[in-house]
Structure 1
Amino acid sequence: MAYVNGSVGGGVKDLYGEDSATEDQLITPWSFSVASGCTLLRDPCYNKGLAFTEKERDAHYVRGLLPPAVYTQDLQEKRLMHNLRQYDVPLHRYIALMDLQERNERLFYKLLIDNVEELLPFVYTPTVGEACQKYGSIYRRPQGLYISLKEKGKILEVLKNWPEKTIQVIVVTDGEPFSIYCIRRQKRATGKEYAELLDEFMHAVKQNYGEKILVQFEDFANHNAFDLLDKYSSSHLVFNDDIQGTSSVVLAGLLASLKLIGGTLADNTFLFLGAGEAGTGIAELIALEISKQTKAPVEETRKKIWFVDSKGLIVSSRLQSLQHFKKPWAHEHEPVKELLDAVKAIKPTVLIGSSGVGKTFTKEVVETMASLNKKPLILALSNPTAGYSSTLTGS
């Protein structure tokens, strides 16, 4: 049974009882039907594989299209976990999991939920960085909507091609940290051309999905991420995970740690390694929380937070050469080049790594933190996957 534009059948009955298509149906002759048979088995949202019961196989016309055995989801999960553990290369596990998602979403999410600690490193950090770098090589089939400069001027039309019509959240990336997606080989758009494309996209999603659509900016380079968040926060519901999502999780961890180390958030001095989106986003939320707790201006609470980037401690003498999002963290102090020397000079109680550079929290750095504090708090959040996080988190 097909449902087209709310009517049962192929169209609208005319005076003689015959089906006649409306003008809209002639333009978009799509029909919606209950999936069955091979169509059902090829739909990852509803396919259950061998978990279809005998009764379901008859009801959905899949008898004979599957091997005769019936395996519950629990049994399928055990078999899949056994198979996944045979792979020695993390990227191979990632590919196997993505293949599962493309054929059986329910089992994919059950697998993740039941084995989150074991599988998270393969669908997220650190393996996802390599997967992004090799996306063109491991590409299987489209899992999203692709908008390029070729679609400029008709982005709304492209959005209408997406089969799901009730959308609440859109995750969008421009792929700049990677430049290795299946993309056209051409110079990356910047300036006015880039801004116009993003602006058309932002207006199109609102027009197509409504005022309440949430747009999550994902993996935008520093020089665009802060500007886009600032530009559209007053007109759209927007969110940047690198700037805001990471910061909320870290702040929650800091507040929880106070139960062990004692005192309040305002009692601490913070030193960050890495001053990109993640680091400055975390720092700003910490400053806002201290301001909320103490009623002090946020400009004042920022002074308890210091940064070390690739050029050393961020201080006032460097102000003119700093990117705009680093400037609020430039405090009065003599220049310091190395992290170890910055720890000795600032004497932080909390050390947070948010850099793409690995092996920086050395034994000497940790021992120095321990010598300065009875209970030092060290959050090693840096993600040093080559060519991936170094662009994401900044330095």
Structure 2
Amino acid sequence: MACQTLKGAALLQNGVLSKGTAYTEQERAELGLRGLLPPVPSNIRLQAEAMIEQLRSFDTPYQKALFLDGLRAANETLFFRLVMDYVEEILPLVYTPTVGEVCQKYSHLYRFPRGLFLSIEDKGHLDELIANAPQQEVDMIVVTDGQRILGLGDLGVNGMGIPVGKLGLYTACAGVDPRRTLPVTLDVGTDTERYLSDPLYLGHKHKRVSGKEYDDFIEEFFQAVHKRWPSCVVQFEDFGNNHAFDLLERYRSRYCCYNDDIQGTASIVVAGFFSAMKAKNSRLSDEKILFLGAGEAATGVANLIAAAMTETGISREDALSRLYLFDSKGLVTSGRETLARHKAPFAKDLEPCTDFEECIRRIRPTAIVGLSAQSGAFTESVVKAMAEINERPIIFALSNPTSKAECTAEQAYTWSDGRALFSCGSPFSPVTYKGKTFVPRQGNNSYVFPGIGLGAILGRCKELGEDVFLSAAHTCADMVTPEDLAQGSLYPSLTRVRDISLAVAVNIIKLALRNGTAQIEQPADIVQYVKDRMYVPDYE
């Protein structure tokens, strides 16, 4: 729909097309806007100044998130300009950690229709529902079934905040055109009793469907999507462990799709390890890593670390021998009667151990990685045990939102006497310890997944293999400066995220062209090819 097809109040009320107060005198005359706006035209820079002033007047992150939601509904271009101009301030409001609270209350605050809700009750008719999507072209879909939202569990349709927020970051961080993105929530029920008994809950009130009916529903979804948009990239988001691995395995070679919780998380954590190796002047294959948590994120990370270790010349078997998982039953060992398939490669022929600190003292890891959603699991004695064993202990407390973090930045630095190489899954403020200020940076997937998506779209990739996520990890780590490392930052500043995403996308397209998974001709200048196609939030 072009701007000229709408005029007057209808144009002002269309959040995708509206410029708000920024229409010129001539535009106001041509589009029937005279008298409908304050008399003096503004511009997007001044509008952004006004909006950031208003945003900062609110007391809580939740209030700020609701304000931003309303701004996006009123003027999407201005919303994305604000996010881009103040990315470090706003990203935690539109995604983790604040999006967790928004999702929990989603049915009680629903105001603006965004995306598609496809219910198991619509099975057999998904073609019809997908035809209702207003976008003529869609390059990127983020889809969830709401079963494992962040560390909060089964939120059902309330999980829609995650695909909406994620796609917002594709746009703000990498320039994916928001008019060609689509958030999707699959309503297959919920097992959360408080939603089943909540009269305001907006999803179907029945227990989760699984088995063949669920699988057939997902298959119908993929077929319907790719019937309408054959080149669309699909990102799985926050599916439960009981489905995430199987769905990725089933579809990764058939369609261009990936699971950010498994593969995107792996990429950014590996990037953090690459930076830690620079700080330690060590090799990744020399590390011994113990994971607290053994779900999709942890095993995804462990698999990619194993692949990264083999780049240094060791075998995959040797790499796996250096990676340990600790789940709700303790150390994952080969002697267990039942062992989930995704955990099996990491099972060790060791005596069982159900105490995490005891495991540290037995195994003597150089790094611990928290992906457990267990608040405070990295206790003072755990961190001090790591500091006793290692000169530079690697402490990655990656669970989010903040309420689920295994430890805080201040705790990691204080308990390790300032020696920890720390990364976090939620944002923490700088910490001053013994006269030195540490700047912990969040190991946020937004450093890599926006560029991965952009590269997949612009390269028209057939599939996204393990090499794509290793490439993104290397690219991100390569942008960490000596100054970053000196202040304890294992990631670049988020103010550089557009440059990082550009570099990630360029390297992925180069990789896809080399291995034959790209479906485009070699551009004369790949960097310019990508730059020219990155959405910039300015008024047309």
Q: Given the two structures, how large is their TM-score scaled by the length of structure 2?
A: 0.63
Aligned to 1:184: 204
- 2:330 equivalent to 1:312: yes
2:302 corresponds to 1:325: no
Hey, what's the Cα distance between the residues in 2 that align with 1:359 and 1:342?
Answer: 17
Q: SS of the counterpart of 2:100?
A: helix
8 Å contact kept, 2:399–2:405: no
| Corresponding residue number in structure 2 for 1:155 | 126
Instruction: Give the aligned partner of residue 242 of structure 2.
Output: 223
1:6 maps to: none
**d(CA) in 1 for partners of 2:377 and 2:405?**
17
Match of 1:10 in 2: none
How far did residue 54 of structure 1 move? 2.1
CA separation in 1, counterparts of 2:34 and 2:251? Answer: 52
Tell me, in whole angstroms, the C-alpha distance in 2 between the residues paired with 1:240 and 1:234: 13
1:4-54 deviation digits (Å, cap 9, x = unpaired) = xxxxxxxxxxxxxxxxxxxxxxxxxxxx96332222212222212112222
For residue 257 of structure 2, the aligned residue among 238, 243, 248 is: 238
Work out which structure has the larger RCO, using CA pairs closer than 8 Å and 6 or more positions apart in sequence.
2
Count of aligned pairs between the two proteins = 357
> Which residue identity is paired with 2:38?
P
For residues 162 and 355 of structure 1, the distance between their equivalents in structure 2, rounded to whole angstroms, comes to 37
- What's the CA shift for 1:164? 0.9
Partner of residue 366, structure 1: 383
Q: Please state whether the residue corresponding to 1:321 is helix, strand or coil.
A: coil
Q: Does the 8 Å CA contact 2:387/2:393 hold for their aligned counterparts?
A: yes
User: How far, CA to CA, are the matches of 1:311 and 1:295 in structure 2?
Assistant: 30
CA pair 386-150 structure 1, distance change in 2 beyond 3 A: farther
Tell me by how many angstroms 1:384 deviates.
5.1
Indicate conservation of the 8 Å contact 2:145/2:239, yes or no. Answer: yes
Check the 8 A contact 2:11/2:17 in 1, yes or no. Answer: yes
Task: Judge conservation of contact 2:270–2:301 (CA < 8 Å) in 1.
Answer: yes
- Alpha-carbon separation, structure 1, partners of 2:28 and 2:404: 48
Q: What is the match of residue 219 of structure 2?
A: 199
For residues 359 and 55 of structure 1, what CA distance do their matches in structure 2 show? 60
Matches of 1:225 and 1:139, distance apart in 2: 27
Q: Which deviates more from structure 2 when the two are superposed, residues 157-166 or residues 78-87?
A: 78-87
8 Å CA contact 2:142, 2:235 repeated in 1: yes
TM-score (norm. length: structure 1): 0.85
Three-state SS of the structure 2 residue aligned to 1:67 is: coil
**Within-5 A mapping of 1:345-364:** 345-364=362-381
2:435 alignment partner in structure 1: none
Q: Which runs of 5+ in 1 are unaligned?
A: 4-31, 390-395
CA offset at residue 88 of structure 1?
Answer: 2.0
Distance in 1 between residues matched to 2:124 and 2:356, nearest whole Å: 48
1:113 aligned residue (84, 88, 100):
84
Q: Which residue of 1 aligns with 2:152?
A: none
1:377 to 394, 398, 402: 394
- Paired AA for residue 101 in structure 2: E
Q: CA deviation at 1:388?
A: 12
Q: Is the Cα contact below 8 Å between 1:133 and 1:180 reproduced in 2?
A: no
Aligned counterparts of 1:356 and 1:384: Cα–Cα separation in 2? 9
Question: How much has 1:201 moved relative to structure 2?
Answer: 0.8
Report how far residue 197 of structure 1 moved: 0.7
1:386 is displaced (CA, Å) by: 6.5
Deviations 1:133-189 (A, max 9, x none): 111011112200111122211111211111112111111111123125321112221
Q: CA deviation at 1:237?
A: 1.2
Distance 1:111 1:234 in 2: 38
Aligned positions of 1:3-18 closer than 5 A: none
Distance 1:386 1:156, change over 3 A: farther
Cα distance change on mapping 1:224 and 1:340 into 2, 3 Å = same
How far did 1:385 drift?
Answer: 5.9
**1:295 Cα offset (Å):** 4.8
Matched, 1:57 2:28: yes
Root-mean-square deviation (Å): 2.1
- Alpha-carbon distance in 1 for matches of 2:214, 2:40: 54
Other-structure match for 2:98: 127
Distance verdict in 2 for CA 1:360–1:341, change over 3 Å: same
Q: Tell me, in whole angstroms, the C-alpha distance in 2 between the residues paired with 1:50 and 1:369.
A: 57
How far apart are 1:109 and its partner, in Å? 1.0
Describe the SS at the equivalent of 1:316: coil
Contact 2:4 2:31 in 1 (8 A): no
Structure 2: distance between partners of 1:386 and 1:357 = 9
In 1, Cα distance between equivalents of 2:319 and 2:106: 42
Please, which of 5, 29, 50 is the counterpart of residue 79 of structure 1? 50
Q: Secondary structure at the match of 1:165?
A: coil
Which of 264, 267, 272 pairs up with 1:253?
Answer: 272
One-letter amino acid matched to 1:322: L
Deviates more, 1:249-258 or 1:281-290: 249-258
- Residue aligned with 2:118, SS: coil
Hey, what's the Cα distance between the residues in 2 that align with 1:290 and 1:388? Answer: 27
Which of structures 1 and 2 has the bigger CA Rg? Answer: 1
Q: 1:347 to 1:117 in 2, by over 3 A?
A: same
* Contact 1:358-1:384 at 8 Å conserved across structures: no
Q: Deviations over 1:312-336 (max 9, x none)?
A: 2111222x32322112111122122
Query: Secondary structure of 1:317's partner?
Result: coil
Which of residues 281, 291, 311 is equivalent to 1:292? 311
Is 1:357–1:384's contact at 8 Å kept on the other side of the alignment? no
Are 1:98 and 2:116 an aligned pair? Answer: no
Question: What are the Cα deviations for residues 274-308 of structure 1, in whole angstroms up to 9, with x where unaligned?
Answer: 11111111111000111233151x23311111111
Distance across 2 between alignment mates of 1:59 and 1:34: 12
